[in-house]
Structure 1
Amino acid sequence: MEETLTQAVPTSGFIDQVSWNSDGLVPAIAQDFKSGRVLMMAWMNRESLALTASEGYAVYWSRSRKGLWRKGESSGFLQKIREIRLDCDGDTVLLMVEQEGGIACHTGRSSCFYNLLQDGEWRVSQPVLQDPKAIYK
């Protein structure tokens, strides 16, 4: 699994094979390519998927900002693409990434999935690695 993204990106075809939702988006899951740990989920549109494939770094669609969002553009914690996969239904993208700096979450944690259900309550299961105020200035 230590492969890098080396093949040429098709100029057409792969984008059309994605089952986009009614908003023209598809969920994208970022997973650490070495450990297999799920880091985050975000949305992609056609342009962000094409840019991700061509640039080799994760580019998402921000629904709140209504624009492209290059992961790590303000924090410096980029996601280098190692593989891009599409699930069997064509409606979810899986990005196998190398998470630069070890922080994927805007809360300063290594993963956005830090809340763990225990005894009927959500409990924080990961420490903050860096104060978000220091990351986002």
Structure 2
Amino acid sequence: MTRVLDSELDPAIAGRLKRNADGLVCAVVQAHGTGEVLMVAWMDDEALHRTLTTGRGTYWSRSREEYWVKGDTSGHVQHVREVRLDCDGDAVLVVVDQEGPACHTGTRTCFDADLLS
């Protein structure tokens, strides 16, 4: 599927991004206030642009090959408070106010299993 661009990402931001071979950057999603890591997803320039302009967490689904806005089907909306680019430009940190669980399994975070326990 060819990704459809609604508009352009700011060139200053786009120039700093280091995308993988599929044109994606890793998005680490963190809870505002607690710092808890909620999930990891993928963004291309369009998903990042939509996130920045709408204030809703928008990602690229590699399995479905389509954009998805967190909460559109589940009701578990992410209200974006901050978006930060890491020093290498190959990942973004999306700080959100999460309504309900962030994980598709119904848990607050996708990182609920401690492998050392």
Q: Same fold (TM over 0.5)?
A: yes
Tell me the residue number matched to 1:115.
113
TM-score, L = length of structure 1:
0.76
- Deviation per residue, 1:61-118 (Å, 9 max, x gap): 00001010111110000111100000000001000100012x1000000000011113
TM-score, L = length of structure 2:
0.89
Q: Aligned pair count?
A: 109
Structure with larger Rg = 1
Corresponding residue SS for 1:74: coil
More RCO (CA 8 Å, sep 6+): 2
The amino acid that maps onto 2:116 is: Q
Tell me the residue number matched to 2:59.
60
Tell me the residue number matched to 1:74.
73
Shift of 1:11: 4.0
Runs of 5+ unmatched residues, structure 2? 1-8
Corresponding residue SS for 2:46: helix
The amino acid that maps onto 2:68 is: W
Tell me the residue number matched to 1:98.
97
1:19 and 1:118 map into 2 onto residues whose CA distance is 32
Tell me the residue number matched to 1:88.
87
Contact conserved, 1:15 with 1:49, CA < 8 A, in 2? no
2:14 and 2:75 map into 1 onto residues whose CA distance is 28
The amino acid that maps onto 1:88 is: C
Corresponding residue SS for 2:79: strand
1:40 and 1:94 map into 2 onto residues whose CA distance is 11
The amino acid that maps onto 2:64 is: R
Corresponding residue SS for 2:15: helix
Runs of 5+ unmatched residues, structure 1? 1-9, 120-137
1:55 and 1:64 map into 2 onto residues whose CA distance is 24
Tell me the residue number matched to 2:5.
none
Percent identity over the alignment is 49
